Amino acid sequence: MARSRDHSARAEHHHAAYGRDTYEDPYDDPYAGDQLAGGRVEQGGPYGGAPYRRRRRRRWPRVLGALLAVLLVVVVGGYFYLDSRLKRESVLVDYPGRVADTPGTNWLIVGSDSREGLSKDDQKRLATGFASGRRTDSMMLLHYGSGGTSLISLPRDSYLPIPGHGSNKLNAAFAFGGPKLLVQTVEKATGLHIDHYAEIGFGGFVGVVDAVGGVDICVKENIKDRKAGLNLKAGCQTLNGGEALGYVRTRAFARADLERVEHQRQFFGALMKKATSPGTMLNPFRSVPLAMNATSNFLVDDGDHLYDLVRMMWAMKGVSGGSGVTTTVPIGGSGSSAAAGSYITWDRSKASTLFGALKQDQEIPPNVITK
C-alpha cells in the first residue's frame, strides 16, 4: 500500500505538461537551458512554432519631433534676439496738423554720415573725415502697395519749408531737429504719411556690404574722387564696403548731387538683391554676419520690428529687379541764399502729380518719372 501511494505521488509530480513528451526522464533538470544565458528557456509559439519576438517601437517619429521642436526654439529665439539688437528711437510721433494715414506703405530711408563704430584708422582709410554727430547724407522714399513699388530720391539740397525754421535745405531739418523734424518736413512737403523709418551710418553701411561679400555694380565711367577715397574704372565689378561707401558719397560729377542720388538708388537696390539672394540667405557664413551687422547698425522707429525691415528689403529687391519705379523727385531749378547756400527746387506741378499718385496708391504717371 505504501509503495502504491509513493508511485502515485511520483506519477502526479511528473505528470506531463501540454505538448511535452510523457516518456521523458522523470529526473531531468527543470531549470535546464542555456546556462550562459542564465538558464533562460526559449518558449515556443503556439503549436510548437517559432519563439515570439517582441516588436521594437519605431523611434524616428520621436527623434524627428524633438529635432523640429529644437529648430522651432532656435528660430523663434533667434528672431527675438536679432529684433532686440535693433537701435530704436521715437521718430514717428504725432503733431498738430499731421497728414492722416494714406493707402499703401511709406518708408523714409536715411543714410547718415555718423562715424559711430569707426576707429580713427577706419575714418582715415575710408576718407570719411572726423566730424562728430550725424547728418543726413541721403534720403529716399520707398512706397509699396496696390499701385506697385516706387523708390524716390529726395536730394538733400532740396529747398523746402522746415517747420519752425523757415525754408532751408532738406538735410538742415535733420540738423535742426533730428529724425522727428526730418519726417515732419517730408510729410508736409509730400502729403504722404510716413509709416516706417530706417537709418544707417557709414560704419553700418560698410559692415553690411562686406557681410554679403561685396555688391556687383556696373560703373558707367571712370571715377576718381579723393574726398570720397574713390578710384574706380568703368565697367562691371564687385565693390567692397569701402568702395561702396565712396560710390554712394561721391559728387564728382557735372550734375553733382543729382547724379549721386542715382548711384544711391542703383546701389541700394543691388545691395538688397544680393542680401535676399539664395546664395546669401542659405549660406550661414553670409546670412549670420549680415543679420548681426544689419540689426546692430540700423536705427528704426520704436514701433518698427525686424519683420518690417525684411519686408522693406524685399520691396527694394523688387524695384532693383525692374518690377517697380525708381526716380528722383522732379527738379524745377536752383538758387542760393545766405542761410542755405546753393540749393535746388522741386518742379511744383510735377512733384504734386507724383506724390498725388502715391497718396492714392496708384501708379506714377510716366511723364513725371526722371532719373
Is 193 a residue whose pLDDT tops 80? yes
pLDDT at 234: 92
Among the residue ranges 48-57, 126-135, 292-301, the one predicted with the least confidence is 48-57
Domains of the chain are 75-212+296-368 (3.30.420.590)
Average pLDDT of the residues in 64-75 = 83
User: Which of 275, 295, 293 lies closest to 81 in space, CA to CA?
Assistant: 295
pLDDT at 27: 47
Q: What is the 3-state secondary structure (H, E, C) of 304-357?
A: CCHHHHHHHHHHHHHHHHHHCEEEECCEEEEEEECCCEEEEEECHHHHHHHHHH
Is 114 a residue whose pLDDT tops 80? no
Is 370 a residue whose pLDDT tops 90? no
pLDDT at 180: 96
> Cα dist. 125→21, 197, 211, 318 in Å?
99, 30, 18, 33
Report the b/e string of 91-121 with b at 16+ CB within 10 A.
bbeeeeeebeebebbbbbbbbbbbbeebeee
Beta strand residue intervals within the chain, DSSP E: 87-89, 105-112, 136-145, 148-153, 159-161, 167-169, 196-200, 215-219, 223-225, 230-232, 235-239, 298-301, 325-328, 331-337, 341-346
pLDDT at 51: 59
pLDDT band at 92 (very low <50, low <70, confident <90, very high): very high
Bridge pairing between strands 87-89 and 105-112: unpaired
- Whether the CA torsion 180, 183, 188, 189 is positive or negative: it is positive
Cα(203)–Cα(98) distance, integer angstroms: 33
Of 351 and 129, the one with more pLDDT = 351
Contacts of 294 (CB under 8 A, 6+ apart): 204, 208, 211, 309
Q: pLDDT by residue (tens digit) across 257-310?
A: 788 888 888 888 888 888 888 899 889 899 999 999 888 889 999 999 999 999
Q: pLDDT by residue (tens digit) across 350-365?
A: 999 999 999 999 999 9
Is 38 a residue whose pLDDT tops 60? no
pLDDT at 371: 65
Q: pLDDT by residue (tens digit) across 318-347?
A: 887 777 899 999 999 999 999 899 999 999
Grid coordinates of 191:
502729403
What is the pLDDT of the chain when averaged over all its residues?
83
> Cα dist. 218→14, 206, 309, 343 in Å?
101, 19, 26, 29
Bridge pairing between strands 159-161 and 167-169: antiparallel
Is 18 a residue whose pLDDT tops 60? no
Burial class (CB in 10 A: 0-12, 13-18, 19+), 355: buried
Of 351 and 42, the one with more pLDDT = 351
Cα(345)–Cα(336) distance, integer angstroms: 10
Cα(116)–Cα(113) distance, integer angstroms: 9
pLDDT at 117: 67
Of 166 and 48, the one with more pLDDT = 166
Cα(254)–Cα(209) distance, integer angstroms: 27
Is 228 a residue whose pLDDT tops 90? no
pLDDT at 5: 46
Confirm if 122 and 133 have CB atoms less than 8 A apart: no
pLDDT at 9: 44
pLDDT at 253: 76
Contacts of 48 (CB under 8 A, 6+ apart): 19
pLDDT band at 36 (very low <50, low <70, confident <90, very high): very low
Q: pTM of the predicted model, to two decimals? A: 0.78
Highest mean pLDDT among 39-53, 123-137, 162-176: 162-176
Q: What are phi and psi of 361, to 5 degrees?
A: 60, 45
